[in-house]
Amino acid sequence: MARVAIIFSGTGDVVESTVSAVRAGALAAGADTRVRRLPGHDTAPLDETLEALVWADGVVLGTVISDGVVAESARRLIGEAARLRTRLRLEGKVVAGLTVGGEGGPSSLAEVYEGLFSWGCLLVVNGGSEATAGMPTRDSAERLGRRVAEVATTLRAPRRSPLRRAG
């Protein structure tokens, strides 16, 4: 069973329902999940969030967008995790980004993925965009959670030994 950490910034009904949908998708794929909200202020410790990154096989990082800008808490996590990527064992983990709200759309999500590249992880995207004005649909959020869990499960599966010819 894969372990998926859902890490997000922001509050409100839209954020909560999006996180709930991502979690439902991961659970539907048989994953164990942990949900972590990023601290709202820049000086708060990230210990629980960093621990969730170590624990997880897959990660969905969600951030609110305000005036076309990615939340500072998400930027801080991306940077801190990049600096600690070896200790956090990020290389080879399955990671997806998700943005909620505000203006910015694809350019804001591109900023999130650009930061995630520095983790050395395997990036998973949700095919097609069903978001309206920066708001992912429940189905697309659920599909993203399921997709991250399924890819992480596949990568966790024991490797079979190569076939050998008889004789």
Assess if residue 24 is contained within a domain: yes
What's the pLDDT score for residue 167? 59
- Which pLDDT belongs to residue 17? 92
pLDDT at 44: 82
CATH code for the domain of 111: 3.40.50.360
In a domain, 81, yes or no: yes
pLDDT given for residue 66 in this prediction = 81
Q: Which domain holds residue 99?
A: 3-156
Does residue 163 fall inside a structural domain? no
pLDDT recorded at residue 27 = 98
- DSSP assignment of the chain equals --EEEEEE---SHHHHHHHHHHHHHHHHTT-EEEEEEPPSSTTS--HHHHHHHHH-SEEEEEEEEETTEE-HHHHHHHHHHHHTTTTTT-TT-EEEEEEESSS-HHHHHHHHHHHHHTTT-EE---SS---BTTB--HHHHHHHHHHHHHHHHHHHSPPPPPP----
pTM: 0.87
pLDDT tens, residue order, the chain (167 aa): 899 999 999 888 888 999 999 999 999 999 999 999 998 877 788 999 999 999 999 999 999 888 788 889 999 999 999 999 999 999 989 999 988 876 656 677 888 888 899 999 999 987 655 555 456 889 999 999 999 999 999 998 776 666 666 65
Tally the domains of the chain: 1
Whether 167 is in a domain gets the answer no
**Residue 151 counted as domain residue:** yes
pLDDT of residue 110: 83
pLDDT, residue 41, reads: 74
Does residue 85 form part of some domain? yes
Residue 14 confidence (pLDDT): 87
Residue 87 maps to a domain: yes
* 55 found inside a domain: yes
